[in-house]
Amino acid sequence: MIKKCVVLLSGGLDSSTCLAVANDAGFDCYTLSIDYGQRHLAELNASAAIAASMSKNPHQVVQINLDSIGGSALTDHDIEVPDFDDAQNEIPVTYVPARNTIFLSTALAYAEVVGAEAIYIGVTAVDYSGYPDCRAEYIQAFETMANLATKTGVEGNQLKIITPLIDLDKAQIIKLGDSLGFDYSKTVSCYNANANGEACGVCDSCHYRKKGFQEAGITDPTRYTQSS
């Protein structure tokens, strides 16, 4: 029997590379996107297109209205998304409270329903913008909790949280995806992407993406509305 996994797909560069890696590892992939009140739908559209091209299973979208809770520039329209600031050492306002915990919890429910033995998530502790829920010790604690939380876990079928990108920087991630034949033109990373999927070129996420392609020596297929 082919082993199954759930892949958390945001439509960005990291999670899409994760899907390519899971496919390459021989998993039957169930893609899952969370619609949590992001500022734009460009990444959800990208997720659906990427899922359709890389998995035969229906792409699943779960809606969670985190915008009602607020607290982040990514979901609260009263907080402005800042441009990249090299001197920034604090956790930025683009941090969404408990985001990966909510994403992984939803993936955990879906994994139990489809009978998946693994969840892939594209977190990276290198270019992680200071988000606490991208670190290996957090992922390990989630996995321990997950196996106490579910019927599947209690019955002895241990679930793994797989983070193939955790020790890679952006350039290494891009090289990895490129080596697996993945086409990055479909992905959207920008915090301010417009309805056409064009990137702002100046936010944190655009900064790391541009730098990644440069360092990888691979042509950046991103469509930017401005350059900096």
**Residues of the shown chain interacting with a copy of itself in the complex, contacts defined by CB under 8 A:** 60-66, 68-71, 91, 95-102, 104-106, 108-110, 112-113, 132-133, 135, 137-138, 141-142, 144-146, 148-151, 153-154
Nearer to a copy of itself, 139 or 171 (CB): 139
Task: Report, in Å, the least distance between residue 108 CB and a copy of itself.
Answer: 4
Least separation in angstroms between CB 38 and a copy of itself: 15
What is the rounded CA–CA span in Å between residue 9 and residue 46?
Answer: 9
- Shortest separation between residue 66's beta carbon and a copy of itself, angstroms: 7
| C-alpha dihedral, 124 to 109 to 47 to 226, nearest 10° | -50
Q: Which of 67, 157, 66 is CA-nearest to residue 108?
A: 157
Cβ-based nearer residue to a copy of itself, 41 or 64? 64
Nearest distance in Å: CB 174, a copy of itself:
27
Count, residues in the chain:
228
Min dist CB 115 to a copy of itself, Å, is 10
Question: Taking the complex as a whole, how short is the minimal distance between the CB of residue 167 and a copy of itself, in angstroms?
Answer: 18
Phi/psi of residue 92, each to 5°? -75, 165
Cβ–Cβ < 8 Å for 72, 94: yes
Q: Read off the DSSP letter of residue 140.
A: H
Position 70: which residue type? G
Based on CB atoms, which residue is closest to a copy of itself, 151 or 196? 151
Q: Toward a copy of itself, which CB reaches closer, 130 or 221? A: 130
Which residues does 91 contact at the CB level (< 8 Å), separation at least 6?
129, 130, 131, 132
Rounded Cα distance, 118 and 111, in Å: 7
Sign of CA dihedral 52, 60, 209, 19: negative
Bridge partners of 4, per DSSP, are 28
Closer to a copy of itself at the Cβ: 133 or 193?
Answer: 133
